[in-house]
A and B are shown apart, each in its own frame.
Chain A
Amino acid sequence: MNAKVQPLLEVRKISKRFGGVKAVNDVSLKVNPGEIVSLIGPNGAGKTTTFNLISGVLPPSAGQILFEGKDVAGLKSSDFAGLGIGRTFQNLALFRQGTVVENLLVGRHIYFRYSVLESLLYFGRPRRQEIQAREKIEQIIEFLEIEELRDKTVSQLAYGQQKRVELGRALACEPKLLLLDEIVAGMNREEKEDIARFILDIRDEFGIAVLMIEHDMQVVMDLSDRVYVLDFGSLIAQGTPAQVADNPLVLKAYLGEEAPHA
């Protein structure tokens, strides 16, 4: 790959300590524009903590996080959507009593720029922006093939459908980078295949780069351009899915014993 391409996201030696525990230790990683990158590792390896650092939920104890060349390490998590980073959560983060459309519109809030007074009049700017938001939402509904769910309340939906809505909510802020936290966990095979297809399409159609934490190795191997492996808070391997799969350190981390002779 061209070395001059500026990475979309560059994490330089970040660490996070909780008291005496080093949850994340000197981790560096990169996501280039249009790449699908996976972060894997056994339970408790520090994947979600790393994600929380990248998306500003937690401040790092040390290190730099550069998004499009700018250091974003000190920013509040609420600013990240505006920067162009969208994310989904391991446990669903949706308004359960709201409809699908309403939940997706929430993802658009960063684009609304009008006062309460203007919105009462609903003329000019608010009207234009609301219509624009609805158009974008409809585009996402069509993309995720959830037309029949449009006006259903989220609490009525099956788990797999809620996950799709969550993905839609993250897409609604038109991110440049999408962080997916175990999006296929708990899904059946067909639902997994659908989501895997959507992840590829998100990259291909919208040019959005994806960084995902994933336990499902099939999904990781099929989708990722590159993989980072964490164990006990440190990076132990990186490379293409095939390289990582052959790495004895990775086998050891997952199987907990000396790898057999390769």
Chain B
Amino acid sequence: MLEHDKLILGEATLPSLLRLRATDRGDQVALREKVQGIWRGRTWAEYYRDARRVAFGLVKLGLKQGDRIIIAGEDVPEWFYADLGAQMIGVQVVGIYPTNPWPEVQYIAGHCQAKLAVTGDQEQTDKVLDAMASIEGLPHLKHIFCVDLKGLRRYEPGRPHAFAHLMELGDQYLQENSSADHWLDAMIDQLMPDDVNVLVYTSGTTGPPKGAMLTHRNFVYGAYAYMVARQMTDKKFESVCYLPLCHVAERTYSTVQHLIAGGCVNFAESVDTVATNIREIAPTFFLGVPRIWEKLQQGFEFRMKDSGRFQRWLYSVGMKRGRVLSDRRTQHGAHVALAGRLEFALWYGLLFRNMQRHMGLNRTHTRMCGGASVSPETLRFFDIIGLPVGQGYGLTEAGGLCFVQVPGRPLISGSCGPAMEGVEWKVAEDGEVIVRSPGVFKGYLFDDKGTRDILSPDGWLATGDIVEKRGADELAVVDRKKAIIITSGGKNIAPSEIENALKDSPFIREAIVVGEGKKFLGGLIQIDFDSVGRWAGERDLQYTTFKSLTQMVEVRELIQGVVDVVNSKFARVENIRKIVLLEKELDHDDGELTATQKVRRGTINKKFGRELEQIYGAGA
């Protein structure tokens, strides 16, 4: 039933895929969760059964097609049951970042008129209750079901109920209605690929979040076209799930790819245990944000310092030769000369294989990095040891990735790779890339104007990203169209490039380039507390807090040194003339960062007026 021709058009619905999996491999393990230190599996049949129980539970509570629910919690199997269960009866699912503060929960749950909330734990439940207790409240929200009831025993009864209770309601409904099973099967049959199943609220670096309406087709296409591009359709799928499921990436690569490929999703115990969990599971597919890749690399290098002299020598020689070989692969792709391949095999046997095994990545066939700018040296490290990490380009409104680096191709520096099968694209006069594919969304919820602004009637999506063509059919992203700075001299400058170059330094955590309408560029810089702190400690410089660290002359000189080096790589007009070190770490709770840790550009002028004054003088 799963034919390439259908999947590449996104012709399927997620509940029907789940039903298929429960039939053709019901007794295989689908989900694995660590319970009290031991990995325990749940089969496809159980996954399907519990999703159905959720579906009946929702029906019992009066929810029907077109209604919406929110899910706020870390990644657990219950997230999957609630997600798929709701979709079975045509209820749309809205994920909320576990890090969203309550006013954002209030905005999203209120905006989409969610009738029911599934929460992960006390922290998430409290946010929903806070939102309900606020002045506007959440008039549509009637029920809360919480997965982990720890700390909630003294709460008002029913606020929240246990998640298990939702499934018990489902069991009750099934007992009361003998035809319910039959009805639900018909319901699943009746779902259409173009039905909206999921809403993803974009984090909104400008303005309030917008609810992007995505369909079964968007997800099925997005996951499958990616698998085709990465040549993994016939490979075993085993992943570690730990990034927020409300984001389109983790949803596509854990939930949907899992439904298409079969295999098993393993839930990490927490974000802090990801490295350990990877080693235990040895996944075949791994999606990491830059921080995770950096941690894996640093963890290894840290261990290396403690090993014997011979091992350290072997490591340094191996990495040096490996770099040369990695250069050749970058240039020639799959067509590396035989000598190079033989030498790699030698080092693989001596060193790289054990490194891969140590990290638990030796079984991976596909590795992905996304979510933020990553230091090229980090990706280089993994390429040297034979674990190339792919990058791509996409956006929520296009149902995830549109362009992705493909295995075996020479790597063009800065390129996101070619378009995936099924993506049409063109570059507008101002450099904005416009795409059309089965992944392109239906529009923003309750925002026709916002939808018309970026989505044309014939399905072309204006991405808002300025790009450059690379090679024959590849693409490199320059910046967000809105982020482009026009100086008073009329020069267009893409701040992200400069910011990313700054952030490649371990001492700089966040950099904001400013200068709209000004004579020159300035930089607001947040130092990395850990590494600058360590640097200061090694030099016996005394500091107590983040703020005191930023005020030290030595630290200012250190950062200025980094800025000077970066400046030398850019044209004169793109140079940062003045920097200010931020005295506090940017934070999601304080509204400076979005849930995905991106700086909210819209708030810069308001939040950093004082710093801007230091750069441009009063009255600027």
Answer whether A134 and B37 are a contact pair too, CB < 8 Å, given A197-B151, A200-B151, A205-B150.
yes
Contacts of A148 in B (CB 8 A): 269-270, 272-273, 276
Q: Are B153 and A205 in contact (CB under 8 A)?
A: yes
* Chain A 134-164 per-residue mask, 1 if CB under 8 angstroms from chain B, else 0: 1100110111010110100000000000000
The residue that B151 contacts in the complex, of A134, A135, A147, A201, with Cβ under 8 A, is: A201
The residue that B36 contacts in the complex, of A135, A197, A201, A205, with Cβ under 8 A, is: A135
- B182 interface contact, C-beta 8 A: no
Q: Are A201 and B37 in contact (CB under 8 A)?
A: no
Contacts of B154 in A (CB 8 A): 200, 204
Answer whether A142 and B151 are a contact pair too, CB < 8 Å, given A147-B273, A148-B270.
no
**A66 to chain B: closest CB distance in Å?**
29
Contacts of B276 in A (CB 8 A): 148
Number of interface residues of A (CB under 8 A): 16
The residue that A143 contacts in the complex, of B38, B150, B153, B270, with Cβ under 8 A, is: B150
Q: Are B37 and A141 in contact (CB under 8 A)?
A: yes
Number of interface residues of B (CB under 8 A): 14
**B77 to chain A: closest CB distance in Å?**
15
**A144 to chain B: closest CB distance in Å?**
11
**B437 to chain A: closest CB distance in Å?**
40
**B302 to chain A: closest CB distance in Å?**
13
Contacts of B153 in A (CB 8 A): 204-205
Q: Are B150 and A147 in contact (CB under 8 A)?
A: no
C-alpha gap A170/B273 in the complex (Å): 25
Contacts of A200 in B (CB 8 A): 151, 154
The residue that A138 contacts in the complex, of B36, B150, B151, with Cβ under 8 A, is: B36
C-alpha gap A169/B272 in the complex (Å): 22
Contacts of A135 in B (CB 8 A): 36
Contacts of B270 in A (CB 8 A): 145, 147-148
Most buried by A among B34, B122, B269: B269
C-alpha gap A138/B122 in the complex (Å): 20
Name which residue of chain A comes closest to B36, CB basis.
A138
Q: Are B272 and A142 in contact (CB under 8 A)?
A: no
Contacts of B150 in A (CB 8 A): 143, 201, 205
C-alpha gap A135/B270 in the complex (Å): 19
Contacts of A147 in B (CB 8 A): 34, 269-270, 272-273
Name which residue of chain A comes closest to B38, CB basis.
A138
**B533 to chain A: closest CB distance in Å?**
14
* Chain A 177-198 per-residue mask, 1 if CB under 8 angstroms from chain B, else 0: 0000000000000000000010
Name which residue of chain A comes closest to B154, CB basis.
A204
Contacts of A204 in B (CB 8 A): 151, 153-154
C-alpha gap A235/B400 in the complex (Å): 67
**B79 to chain A: closest CB distance in Å?**
18
Name which residue of chain A comes closest to B153, CB basis.
A204
Name which residue of chain A comes closest to B273, CB basis.
A148
CB contacts under 8 Å to B, within A198-256, are: 200-201, 204-205
C-alpha gap A141/B272 in the complex (Å): 14
Name which residue of chain B comes closest to A136, CB basis.
B36
Interface residues of A (CB under 8 A from B): 134-135, 138-139, 141-143, 145, 147-148, 150, 197, 200-201, 204-205
| 25 A–B pairs (Cβ distance < 8 Å), ordered by A | A134-B37, A135-B36, A138-B37, A138-B38, A141-B36, A141-B37, A142-B36, A143-B150, A147-B34, A147-B269, A147-B270, A147-B272, A147-B273, A148-B272, A148-B273, A148-B276, A197-B122, A197-B151, A200-B151, A200-B154, A201-B150, A204-B151, A204-B153, A204-B154, A205-B150
Given contacts A147-B269, A205-B153, 19 further A-B contacts (CB under 8 A): A134-B37, A138-B38, A139-B36, A141-B36, A141-B37, A143-B150, A145-B270, A147-B270, A147-B272, A148-B269, A148-B270, A148-B272, A148-B273, A148-B276, A197-B151, A200-B151, A201-B150, A204-B154, A205-B150
